[in-house]
Amino acid sequence: MDDIEIEVLADPDLSEPTLIEGLPGVGHVGKLAVEHLLEEFDSEVVRRVYSTEFPPQVTITEGVADLASAEIHAVDVTGTEAGDRTDDEHETDDGSESDGESATVDEGDEGDGVDLLVLTGDHQAQTNAGHYRLTEAFLDVAEEFGVQQVFALGGVPTGELVEEPSVLGAVSDEAAIDRLKAAGVEFREDEPAGGVVGISGLLLGLGGRRGFDVGCLMGETSGYLVDPKSAQAVLVALEDAIGFEVSFESLEERADEMEEVVGKIQEMQNQQASVPTDDDLRYIG
């Protein structure tokens, strides 16, 4: 195996697709957001990226092993009216493989809507250099499909629970700022203070240098919990920025469940009259 190996699973003819990245990160905001897109819309896996930069690990689903990888899905949001759909009809497997029937990405129809390439997976790279190499590989795939616009989705940690999460933006080219502001994205001087790290950061940095129009949408989140509400805020901004509609029913249900969990934790805290440690809160979900 080479350091990076790109497996070709399908080559649909997409119309200037937008690449949406949602790999694991703060509050799992980016990953929750793209998983929601994959649940709500028809999709098919077009590329699987294996790499010695991923952990030496397989995931086991019903006894069958899948080698650590990142996946790029073609998602058809053409003509979708998310509200008309039931969950059962459009659910696909959790990001691994969509069966033949539901993989109805319409290859011929190029005039009518929005084509997305959705990048997700279970891992960031395990070394500094690996982040660079994987990001270049993802951008190579994007180039192959004629992508011009890239959105990296993620969370920005605030250190406290956020009732109404804002969405912070960062871009590769300042010309995009006004367009994103119009979609409700906030731009603040020197925020996020620590910059953007990992593959989202390098999509901005390397993607920008290669001429892609890259935006990073970061939902405010405590940093302690998996945060579906922040993921929804990010998707709302993305809807506006790209022009598509998605139902948030299932994401809202998940956010409600999280609120309950948080409520119980806060109650316990009050009873104990003591401050909870980070460990109590970290990634309950």
The binding site for its own copies (CB under 8 A) comprises 1, 3, 50, 52-68, 125-129, 131-133, 135-136, 169-174, 177, 187-192, 195-199, 201-202, 204-206, 208-209, 214, 216
Complex with its own copies: residue 12 or 24, whichever CB lies closer: 24
Complex with its own copies: residue 8 or 268, whichever CB lies closer: 8
Yes or no: say if 217 and 152 are a contact pair by the CB < 8 Å rule.
yes
CA end-to-end span of the chain: 35
Complex with its own copies: residue 161 or 177, whichever CB lies closer: 177
Q: What backbone torsions phi and psi does residue 236 show, to the nearest 5 degrees?
A: -60, -45
- Rounded to whole angstroms, the Cα distance separating 171 from 203 reads 10
Nearest distance, CB of residue 219 and its own copies, angstroms: 16
- Rounded to whole angstroms, the Cα distance separating 282 from 285 reads 9
- Rounded to whole angstroms, the Cα distance separating 121 from 23 reads 6
Complex with its own copies: residue 7 or 260, whichever CB lies closer: 7
- Rounded to whole angstroms, the Cα distance separating 73 from 70 reads 10
Of 48, 69, 47, 51, nearest in space to 2 by CA: 51
Nearest distance, CB of residue 160 and its own copies, angstroms: 21
Complex with its own copies: residue 62 or 88, whichever CB lies closer: 62
Nearest distance, CB of residue 196 and its own copies, angstroms: 5
- Rounded to whole angstroms, the Cα distance separating 177 from 172 reads 9
What letter does residue 276 receive in the DSSP assignment? P
Q: Is 27 exposed, middle or buried (0-12, 13-18, 19+ CB in 10 A)?
A: buried
Residue 202 in tokens? 């390098």
Nearest distance, CB of residue 244 and its own copies, angstroms: 24
Complex with its own copies: residue 14 or 153, whichever CB lies closer: 153
Complex with its own copies: residue 104 or 148, whichever CB lies closer: 148
Nearest distance, CB of residue 50 and its own copies, angstroms: 8
Nearest distance, CB of residue 133 and its own copies, angstroms: 7
Residue 284 in tokens? 């309950």
Nearest distance, CB of residue 254 and its own copies, angstroms: 18
Nearest distance, CB of residue 139 and its own copies, angstroms: 10
- Rounded to whole angstroms, the Cα distance separating 24 from 33 reads 11
Please name every residue paired with 152 in a beta bridge, in sequence order, or none if there are none. Answer: 21, 216
- Rounded to whole angstroms, the Cα distance separating 259 from 256 reads 5
Complex with its own copies: residue 75 or 152, whichever CB lies closer: 152
